[in-house]
A and B are shown apart, each in its own frame.
Chain A
Amino acid sequence: MKIECQQLSKVYEGANGPLSSLEDITFSTADREFIGIVGPSGCGKTTLLKLIAGLQEPTSGRVIMTGAPAGDRPRSAMVFQDHGLFPWMTVLDNVAFGLQMHGVERQERRDRAREFVDRVGLSHFADSYPGQLSVGMGQRVGIIRAFVTDPPLLLMDEPFGALDSQTRLVLQEELLRIWGEYPKVVIFVTHDIDEAIRLSDRILVMTGRPGRILEEVPIPLERPRTLTRRKPAEVGEIKWHIWGLLEEQVRESLWVAD
């Protein structure tokens, strides 16, 4: 499946008049492409994901999906920053939630959910509640909750933002592994340039508010990627290049009141 965003803009009606959040966002993805999005705080990254997910309507422009699978599979699933697991459901019920919303029968959805729970090593926690999990375990569950519905498009909104740097590395690798088995288009928003480089095929660098695409940076790293594999020298250059693009944006956004 491919996603095409055409001149997406979003203007919110703020208390002090209209507030432009996104402006003229145009990009398209290849099939099974991993897109990273980096940009300063408040540049509308989350808004962009919500527009693509169809949770919000753009003020102008449109999102076109071609080659979306027929049937009861949802077109996209979203992974949230603080995992957003329902505290009142067990891990298994949380993972099965998306399936349930798409009318999958009880036994089948539990079987499918359990398969994913086992896959990320949380078998013993299937009947636990999210309150019993560590933050890292919680986000694992958040990720498989999205994968279990097998959507062709996965939207991830700073999913590892709340994790310590070691847990973060482990989950990045785990994400790449699951994604390798269930390939799909991923749009991954992050603050972390290293993380974006490690995961993405291509990085979209955004400006401060209103968010526009400043540059598209391809990442010429082979797959499958692992943490231990040595990175070619050019990766370091890419990082500084992206930081060079971002620095000015970040400094400016510090002076823009929310």
Chain B
Amino acid sequence: MRAAAPPEFSGQVERWGPFLSAIVVLALWELLSRTGAISPMFFPPPSSIAVVLWRMLLAGDLLVDLGITIARVIAGFILGAGLAVLLGLVMGTSPRLGAQLDPWVAALHPTPKIAVLPLILVIFGIGEASKIMLAALGSFFPMLINTVAGVRQIPSIYFEVADSYGAGRLQMFRRVVVPGSLPLVMAGARISANVALMLTIAAELVAAQRGLGQVIWFAWQTLRIEEVYAGLFITSLLGITFAFVLERFTRWVMPWRLEARNGAR
């Protein structure tokens, strides 16, 4: 950091710096593309991408595709990550079950989930279910691994304290296991949401009628390069939005984290 800069100035830089650098990069891109220094075939100028994006939005189809993708990601995420949290809490608290299931997780987790798509298409057909199941499968493992780790890293002192005050199994679960594992559970949720989006788009690229993945794929097949970029832009915006919402949610469910950071020690 610039030690010499006055505090207001460095604050301004932190706030506007990212926008500034984005504008510089876009302007450079525009310039290079317009002058032909880079091929507008592959890198059309941002302004023409923006025009195409605007037209797509006005036509309304893009919003429908966006809505379809969002619905698939959320359904897959809730299904996969939800089941994973439940199973993870049980695996984390029960050493016996944990020992039984750990090898399965270790074996199945590294499999690239997109490779399972053909099998999922066979089992669940080419309808909505297959996309949702793939996203659920992808969401499941990061969430499961984080939840199990989250429970196991809870310092034993908290169990002893709760035990010494006569906490029963249910109270122990609600007041110690769940909040104690929450930091890693929420970190898992962020990874899972990202994987769910990635797999949904991937499935849409090859096996869907609608959705952002299909928008991008169709644009490529018809060689409308601006539309490819427009689809990519909306997709990355969606990813950022998911991350932002989860970040807000994390702060809301773990107020102590934030307070501890800003606390007057």
Chain A residues near B (Cβ < 8 Å) = 53, 55, 74, 76-78, 80, 82, 84, 86-89, 97-98, 100-102, 128-132, 134, 149
Asked whether A129 and B265 contact (CB < 8 A) given A86-B158, A86-B176, A102-B166, the answer is: no
Q: Is the CB of A131 within 8 A of B164?
A: no
Chain B residues lying within 8 Å of A55, measured Cβ to Cβ, are 160, 163-164
Interface centre among A77, A78, A87, A149 (most CB of B within 10 A): A87
Q: How far is the CA of A88 from the CA of B181 in the complex (A)?
A: 11
B40 in contact (CB, < 8 A): no
Of A76, A80, A82, most B-chain CB atoms within 10 Å: A80
A103 to chain B, nearest CB (A): 10
- Give the interface centre of A53, A74, A132, A149 by most chain B CB atoms within 10 Å: A132
Query: Which one of B113-121, B244-252, B254-262 contacts A?
Result: B254-262
Report yes or no: A78 in contact with B254, Cβ–Cβ below 8 A. no
Q: Are B171 and A101 in contact (CB under 8 A)?
A: yes
Q: Which of A74, A87, A128, A134 contacts B165 (CB 8 A)?
A: A74
Known A88-B182, A101-B166, A149-B165; judge A131-B256 contact (CB<8 A).
yes
Contact with A along B166-195 (1 / 0, CB 8 A): 110001000110011010000000000000
Q: Is residue B58 contacting chain A, with contact meaning CB distance below 8 A?
A: no
Residues of chain B contacted by A149 (CB below 8 angstroms): 165
Q: In the complex, A76 Cα to B163 Cα: how many Å?
A: 12
| Bound-state Cα–Cα, A130 to B114, Å | 44
User: How many Cβ-Cβ contacts under 8 Å join chain A to chain B?
Assistant: 67
**Closest residue of chain B to A132, judged by CB?**
B263
State whether A82 touches B260 (Cβ < 8 A): no
Determine whether the beta carbon of B166 is less than 8 Å from that of A88: no
Contacts of A74 in B (CB 8 A): 165-166
Main secondary structure on B side of the interface with A:
helix
Let me know if B161 is at the binding interface, CB within 8 A: yes
Known: A88-B182, A88-B254. A101 touches B161 (CB 8 A): no
Taking CB atoms, residues of chain B closer than 8 Å to A53 are: 164
| Nearest-neighbor residue (CB-CB) of A87 within chain B | B256
A56 to chain B, nearest CB (A): 10
A78 surroundings in chain B (CB, below 8 A): 161, 164
Q: Which of B162, B175, B260 contacts A129 (CB 8 A)?
A: B260
Residues in A whose Cβ lies below 8 Å from that of B107 = none
**8 closest A-B pairs by CB:** A131-B260, A132-B263, A88-B179, A129-B256, A98-B165, A84-B161, A78-B164, A101-B165
Q: Tell me which residues from 92 to 113 in chain B have a Cβ below 8 Å from any Cβ of chain A.
A: none
Contacts of A77 in B (CB 8 A): 164-165
Contact (Cβ within 8 A) A80 B161: yes
- 23 intermolecular pairs with C-beta atoms under 8 Å apart: A55-B164, A74-B166, A78-B164, A84-B157, A84-B161, A86-B161, A86-B175, A88-B179, A89-B179, A97-B162, A97-B165, A97-B175, A100-B171, A101-B162, A101-B165, A101-B166, A102-B166, A128-B259, A131-B256, A131-B260, A131-B263, A132-B259, A132-B264
CB pair B160–A84 under 8 Å, yes or no, is yes
Q: How far is the CA of A89 from the CA of B162 in the complex (A)?
A: 13
Interface positions, chain B 217-265, Cβ under 8 Å from A, are 254-256, 259-260, 263-265
Contact A86 B166 (CB under 8 A): no
A-contact 0/1 string along B145-161, CB 8 Å cutoff: 00000000000011011
Complex CA–CA separation, A148 to B246 (angstroms): 38
The closest CB in chain B to the CB of A76 belongs to B164
In the bound complex, what is the Cα–Cα distance between A130 and B104 (angstroms)?
38
User: Do A101 and B265 form a contact, CB below 8 Å, given A88-B256, A131-B256?
Assistant: no
Which residues on the B side are within 8 Å of A87 (C-beta)?
256, 260
Could you tell me the distance between the alpha carbons of A97 and B176 in the complex, rounded to whole angstroms? Answer: 11
Residues in A with CB closer than 8 Å to B180 are: 88
Contact B263 A128 (CB under 8 A): yes
A84 to B161, CA, bound (A): 7
Give CA–CA (A89, B264) in the complex, Å: 17
Note all chain A residues with C-beta closer than 8 A to B256: 87-89, 129-131
Residue of A nearest to B176 (CB): A86
A residues in contact with B167, CB < 8 Å: 101
Which residues of A are found within 8 Å of B175, using beta-carbon distances?
86, 89, 97
Q: Please indicate which of the listed interface residues B165, B255, B264, B265 has the most CB atoms of chain A within 10 Å of its own CB.
A: B165
Scoring A82, A97, A102, A149 by chain B CB atoms within 10 A of each residue's CB, the highest score goes to A97
